[in-house]
Structure 1
Amino acid sequence: MLGLEYFKFADVWSPVFLAAMLLVTAGYFLLAGPLNEKYGQGEPVSAGKKSLFILGMAFLYLAQGGPVELLGHMMFSFHMVSMALSYLVAPPLLMLGLPRWIWNAVVTFLGRSPLRRLKFLTHPIVAAVVFNGLFSFYHIPVVHDYVMLHFGIHRLYYVVLFLASLLMWWTLVKPLPDRGEAQGLKKMGFIFLNMVLLTPACGLIIFAPDTLYATYSDPGVWAKAMGYCISGDPTLLLGKFGGPEFFGYLEPRIDQQVGGILMKFIQEIIFASMLAYVFFQWYRQENREEEDGQLPDDVKLNQI
């Protein structure tokens, strides 16, 4: 399917990465089970939170070690799906799945370490600019092709981008609601800012008149980039398949446009849904406060 049948099981499913993800998940159940009973102050971890964490790990595995990761080296549209799953879908699910005591421990540790000097990165506007700036910078053609061909930098950049996404999501998912998160109009403004900041990069990709990335159009560059996710000599792919066009269900420029549209569409769906939810919550809160303010004094006293 989509050319995956031409590759080995290990190339498609990355067993080592899968084992690492399963090990992390097992550690999570230790933290959410016996250790939570010890440190969680009697607050159990619900089945819903556990399901969110497992779902987040599954999306992260598919995007960074499973079939989507391999397809992302052959088609730009799947590359963008991988980016969306890695940084827009998985992070909030993982954050919402962690018990509160873990977040308290992390925040306390960071507050006592030299990293506290980087606290400014948690400011909503700074976090939004940093994440969207790193994402946009990565998709400058010369930067993207360089990162794809230098595997150490590739992994480091992805880790930094993931950490930046966690900072961006911090204000939105509020894992510690008692720490003064943004509310109402401020939160809606932050969501809207994220929606706007990613638009220029997606627009340039969608409306580019030519293919931008040698990784998906130059057979030699593509074969070298494939060495990151397959075993054996990647140059053998040239003799077997000729280039990425063998796997492409779309012409390269169209595939590039579809990738930009998919990224923007997924982002718009996620943030527009959150915007509607936050607006509804803020509207209900404002109406509740207004109704309380209009109650007679004797009714207010009775309520107290």
Structure 2
Amino acid sequence: MLGLEYFSFAAKWTPLFMAFMLLVTAGYFLVIGPLSSRFEGSAPVSFGRKTLFVSGMFMFYLAQGGPINLLGHTMFSFHMVSMALSYLVAVPLLILGIPVWLWRAIDKANPFKRLAFLARPIVAAVVFNGLFSFYHFPAIHDFVMLNFWVHRLYFLILFIASLLMWWAIIQPIPEKDKTTGLIKMAYIFLNMVLLTPACALIIFSSEPMYATYSDPAIWAKAMGYCVPGDTSFLLTQFGGPEFFGYLDPVIDQRVGGIIMKFFQEIIFASMLAYVFFHWYKRENQEDDPLPSEIPPGNLNQA
């Protein structure tokens, strides 16, 4: 299926990364369970919150270490699915899956408080969308894909930038949530706009932009992230990435751009509707007078 049958279990599932993600998940349950009494204000964590965290971990693993990661090295459309799941789906799930009392403890022990300005809404939006767009410049993308440690470092920085961007929207510590509903809505809309130029460039390009998906030699080298050992056999066995592509490279590229924009629009539009609903509800509650505030002579009118 999609060429996955040609690759080993290790190439498709990345056992070391799987073990790391399972270890982090086990640490989460250890902290919110047996070790929770060590944290001030700790309380039992609901099943729903646990489900959100596990779902976030699963989505991130699937995108960065599972079959989607492998397919993202053969087809650009799957690369964009991987990016969307990693930074637009997994990150907010992880934020929501961590209980408030644990976030307070993390915030209290945070050694990077001098960098708090990076979490300001406009800064966080510009940094994340700027890094994401910069990564998808053809020369930058191909360079990152061919240099293992640069790849890992860039994706780590992009993860942190995504965390800061979502932090400004969700803000899991209630007493620190000073942003009004209108400002949050404007911030969400800003995020929707900032990613548009990069997606448009990819969608409307009339030729393949990335050598990783069009040059067999560069593709084989980039596959070293997924396939252990010498990857030169891929050239003799498959010829190049077109062996796995069910779409023309330009069409695949356009589909990738559409997928990213679709994910972004759906997720941010949902957040926009959620924030608007709660803002509207709160504004109406503040405007409606309580019964005790209505003058006695106006009770019948009220």
TM over 0.5: yes
CA RMSD of aligned residues (A): 1.4
> Are residues 1:193 and 2:190 paired?
yes
Change in Cα spacing, 1:293 to 1:199, as seen in structure 2 (3 Å) is farther
Superposed CA deviations along residues 50-92 of structure 1, whole A, max 9, x for unmatched, are: 0000000000000000000000000000000000011000011
User: What SS does structure 2 have at the residue aligned with 1:208?
Assistant: coil
- Which residue of structure 1 lines up, in the alignment, with residue 294 of structure 2? 296
Q: C-alpha offsets along residues 128-176 of structure 1, whole Å, 9 cap, x if unaligned?
A: 0000000000000000000000010000000000000000000212210
Equivalent AA in structure 2 for residue 118 of structure 1: L
Distance 1:123 1:9, change over 3 A: same
Change in Cα spacing, 1:73 to 1:181, as seen in structure 2 (3 Å) is farther
Q: CA, structure 1 residues 293+41, in 2 after alignment: closer, same or farther (shift >3 Å)? A: closer
Match of 2:158 among 161, 164, 167: 161
Q: How many residues align?
A: 296
| 1:57-68 mapped onto 2 (5 Å cutoff) | 57-68=57-68
Moved more, 257-266 or 230-239: 230-239
Unaligned runs of 5+ in 2: 298-302
Structure 1 runs (4+) deviating above 3 angstroms are none
- Report deviation, 1:2: 0.4
Displacement after TM superposition at 1:38 (Å): 3.6
* 1:26-175 matched pairs, under 5 angstroms: 26-39=26-39, 41-110=41-110, 113=111, 115-175=112-172
Structure 1 residue runs of 5 or longer lacking an equivalent are: 300-304
| Whole-angstrom CA distance in 2 between matches of 1:178 and 1:296 | 31
Query: What amino acid is aligned across from residue 154 of structure 2 in structure 1?
Result: Y
Query: 1:41 Cα shift?
Result: 2.3
Which amino acid is the alignment partner of residue 84 of structure 2? A
8 A contact 2:91–2:162 mirrored in 1: yes
1:180 CA drift (Å): 3.0
Q: Residues of 2 paired with 1:143 and 1:181: CA distance?
A: 37
**Distance in 2 separating the partners of 1:34 and 1:117:** 32
Name the CA distance, whole Å, in 2 between partners of 1:297 and 1:136: 58
- Percent identity between matched residues is 65
Encode CA deviations 1:201-238: one digit per residue, 9 max, x unaligned.
00000001111000000001100000111112111100
2:207 alignment counterpart: 210
Partner Cα distance (1:42, 1:241) in 2: 55
Indicate the larger mover: 28-37 or 125-134.
Answer: 28-37
Code of the residue aligned with 2:117 in structure 1: it is F
How far, CA to CA, are the matches of 1:146 and 1:297 in structure 2? Answer: 72
Residues 17-74 of structure 1: CA deviation (Å, up to 9, x unaligned): 1111111111000011112234252521100010000000000000000000000000
Where do 1:227-266 residues align within 5 Å? 227-266=224-263
Q: 1:253 to 1:94 in 2, by over 3 A?
A: same
CA contact (8 A) 2:223 2:231 kept: yes
Q: Report the Cα offset of residue 293 of structure 1.
A: 7.2
Which amino acid letter does the alignment assign opposite residue 180 of structure 2? Q
Change in Cα spacing, 1:211 to 1:184, as seen in structure 2 (3 Å) is same
1:79-119: per-residue Cα shift (whole Å, max 9, x none)?
Answer: 00000011000011011111222211221122xx3x22211
Amino acid at match of 1:230: V
TM-score by length of 2: 0.95
What is the distance in 2 between the residues matched to 1:106 and 1:281?
27
Show the counterpart of 2:220.
Answer: 223
Q: Amino acid of the residue matched to residue 266 of structure 2? A: I
8 Å Cα contact 2:92/2:166 also seen in 1:
yes
Tell me, yes or no, if the aligned pair for 2:52 and 2:96 is still in contact at 8 Å: yes
> What does residue 302 of structure 1 align with?
none
